[in-house]
Structure 1
Amino acid sequence: MSRTPNSLTSDIRARLPERLPQRLGVAVSGGGDSVALMHLLAEIAADEGAELYAATVDHGLRPEAAEEAQIVARQAADLALKHDILKWQGWDGSGNLQDQARRARYALLAQWAHANSIPAIALGHTADDQAETVLMRLARSAGVTGLAAMPNSHVREGVTILRPMLGTTRHSLRDYLSDKGLNWIEDPSNQDKRFDRIKARKALADLSPLGVTPETLSRVASNLAQAREALDLFTQESARKVAVAIDGDVCVDRAAFQTLPAEIKRRLLIGILRWISGPGYPPRQSAVDQAVEALDNGEAGSLSGCLLVPQAANTWICREFQAVANLKARPAARWDERWILSGPGIDGFEIRALGEAGLASVPDWRATGRPRLVLQSSPAIWHGDELQAAPLAGFPNGCSAELAPEWSEFYASFLSH
């Protein structure tokens, strides 16, 4: 039996913020899930006095994509919604296409949201998508965090991503669209058995007689998400006891770190790496375990573009110089995505890593108490080959280095993933 439209609307509304933002975005590919979400959200937004904006990302990877985006535009117009088509032109033919397309999609949607003062965007992921994600991660021996799969909401690039249909099945949405006489586009990649997600979809159908359904796996993911939240809170409390953030780097008390449970050690280290180097896929568990062991033993190490630098009873975790050696930015622009340097008379100068050559020009760097390797990757102001300022290395010369305003506070970052 399919759910009634009122039931679907209630289920989706229950997974949205208690108070809708004045402006809410919805990403619509043209597939059945996102088209249904657009119609259901249009009803909810109208009832609550919110403005709904729709966007379609055209990856330009199929000849039909441009026309499909226009079809969505017409559907949005029928609902009197403002709609924009966001075109991706950034793929150079290298790397994992699906991964790059996914990253580009989120980046384009975030840019669109910021440009239109939209604080939150709803995506059309369903209970089926959640269940398929659980199966794929199970195949990779994922732990609690991986099997918790997709969260109902999280913040990405300053925009809240909402997934209000994680408790709703694809079948019920198709029934809803059919009952309303609405059309949707079938993506041919949904039949391509080369993709892991399509293999997981078939496996899920085969497991249905055992009671392993999208609804049950979605509930499993929800249960594990609660466990993940508890572990995140414990990790945050542990971070307050064993680690301190100093000028964008983190200093860990090794003796205190050694007393933590193994799972919390791993989570704490991954959280520190993410805070320093930015979001992205977490490193492989084997690499994390090796880094945890190095930290325990007071040994040097590297992981995710960061270094472990032992110093007496502590270990510093900082950016690896090689990860930022070629990064350049103008004053007041972000360097390494998180640093903003400013000061008088530096227009036309360049922000680069301090490096060994720059450090040699700062005779008092030891007074900072920070190891050489930590300071080498810190941001500095250069005029050609001449160092003008290195605020974090004890040579401010009237300049300052600040973390970008939206960069998470260190301890708060453990609850933001």
Structure 2
Amino acid sequence: MLAPQFAQVLQSGAPVGLAVSGGGDSMALLHLAAAMGGRISVASVDHGLRQQSAAECAMVAEICAGYGLPHQTLAWTGWDGRGNLQDQARRARYGLLADWAHAAGLGDIALGHTADDQAETVIMALSRGAGVDGLAGMAEVTCRDGLRYHRPLLQITRAALRAYLQATGRGWCDDPGNDDPAYERIRIRQAADVLATLGLTPQALGQVARHMATISAALERGTAEIAAAVTLPQGGDVLVTLPLRDLSREQARRLVLAAMAQVHRQMPMPRRDEQQRLMQGLMQGQGGTLGGCLLTFDGPVLRISREPQAVAQLVTPTNALWDARWRLSGPHAPDLQLRALGAGIDLCGDWRASGLPRRSLQATPAVWRAATLISAPLAGFGADWSAQIVAD
């Protein structure tokens, strides 16, 4: 049942993590992976939102002990009752899993998403008028936080997995939240039988997602070819030298988003309506801000920079990676910090010699001792330090 690509990872002997909640999908993943063998570690995220959650994690731990697999429960205590619970819980889950995986030396984590989850994702995308990328749904393998996340059950239905568990005499826990119609995904799940009568089965919707993923990959390859010809790096900025109107609207959108992702490596994907508003302005020669990036025009050239305000509170030791891309070399010391140059640019008399705009430089890393500026390498201040962008 497991996807061949993930099966190969297991069989390679590489250490692999499984995210197992105790629900039917992830429990099937656990048993199937354990039967195949490999260097497996297991984590369960306890969101602490239900009284039963701790017991469910303990059940997973007991089953893992029977297999001789290490297990760890990861507790989330960040919910304050405000905002989008499902979104916050999802973000917390990925953050906890990433911390666990890095500490355990894991490079791959498997998740229990199924064909039904994929179908629900595609329908949600349809309801929002999504484009090709949205309709591609979830990928079988995605990279995030320096890890590879696998979905080896993405072409298997929830019913098939539960049938497997029942046939082998294995149990699972049902989360009552999975029946709560307050959530969009649950309402779609409850309408699955009606949708199936219209031919919108998990298998059919999964096929749509695979077709769209193929098209999306082709568009990405085309965008990369265009980017190689018309973008230039400059001091942390990215310049787009070809007028956007010379491209199709989709090519321009993808090119701009790819350049923004170079400038802000941890940028969450902006909503489609935000992208559309930005592109409408850019096509008219108007700059803007989005996703922590500042977009301006130098004549016909589009400059994409880090937005100064977005990094104003970012503080790290001088020997740490700053803003996920900058590495500084110099006389490190415990009382020094890396912060954005910001208003310190007024202390850099020769900053114009850099050829970079003032606002671009304000978003670059600078070495500070408390309120004293020690060095701003890109602004030409302080001779003992240099700054380099590290590879992705």
Q: TM-score range by the shorter chain?
A: over 0.9
Cα distance per residue 1:300-339 (max 9 Å; x no partner): 2111121112223322111111111222222112333433
Residue 175 of structure 1: how far off its partner (Å) = 0.5
Alignment of 1:16-415 (within 5 A): 16=6, 18-20=8-10, 21=12, 22-44=14-36, 46=37, 50-255=38-243, 257-355=244-342, 357-404=343-390, 408=392
In the alignment, the residues of structure 1 paired with residue 284 and residue 202 of structure 2 have an alpha-carbon distance, to the nearest angstrom, of: 44
SS in 2 for 1:35: helix
Whether the aligned pair in 2 keeps the contact of 1:354 and 1:375 (CA below 8 Å) is: yes
Aligned to 2:191, what secondary structure does the other structure show? helix
Q: Are 1:14 and 2:1 counterparts?
A: no
Post-superposition shift, 1:104? Answer: 1.1
Tell me the CA shift for residue 345 of structure 1.
4.9
What amino acid sits opposite 1:274 in the alignment? A
* Structure 1 residue runs of 4 or more that deviate by more than 6 Å after TM superposition: none
Q: Is the 8 A contact 1:254 1:296 kept in 2?
A: no
For residues 13 and 295 of structure 1, do their structure 2 counterparts lie closer, same or farther at Cα, with a shift above 3 Å needed? closer
- Consecutive unaligned residues of structure 2, counting only runs of 5 or more, are none
Distance (Å, rounded) in 1 between the aligned partners of 2:156 and 2:111? 13
Quote the offset at 1:206 in angstroms. Answer: 0.6
Contiguous gaps of at least 5 residues in structure 1: 1-7, 409-417
For 1:412, the equivalent position in structure 2 comes to: none
Q: Secondary structure at the match of 2:317?
A: coil
Secondary structure of 2:347's match?
coil
| Contact 2:319/2:332 (8 A) holds in 1 | no
**Is the alpha carbon distance of 1:159 and 1:230 closer, same or farther for their aligned partners in structure 2, counting shifts above 3 Å?**
same
- Which string of whole-angstrom CA distances, capped at 9 and with x for unpartnered residues, describes residues 198-248 of structure 1? 111122221111221111111110111111100111111111122122333
C-alpha distance in structure 1 between counterparts of 2:55 and 2:273, whole Å: 45
Deviates more, 1:364-373 or 1:90-99: 90-99
Aligned residue identity for 2:73? I
Specify the code of the residue in structure 2 equivalent to 1:185: C
Distance 1:178 1:19 in 2: 27
2:328 maps to amino acid: L
| Contact 1:316/1:374 (<8 A) preserved | no
Shift in alpha-carbon separation, 1:118–1:284, aligned structure 2, 3 A: closer
Distance 1:175 1:300, change over 3 A: same
Cα 1:83–1:374 shift into 2, 3 Å: same
Cα distance change on mapping 1:187 and 1:307 into 2, 3 Å: same
Report if aligned partners of 2:44, 2:73 keep a CA contact under 8 Å in 1.
yes
Report the Cα distance in structure 1 between the residues aligned to 2:302 and 2:79, rounded to whole angstroms. 39
Whole-angstrom CA distance in 2 between matches of 1:19 and 1:335: 32
TM-score, normalization by structure 1: 0.89
**Secondary structure in 2 aligned to 1:193?**
coil
Letter in 2 for 1:24: V
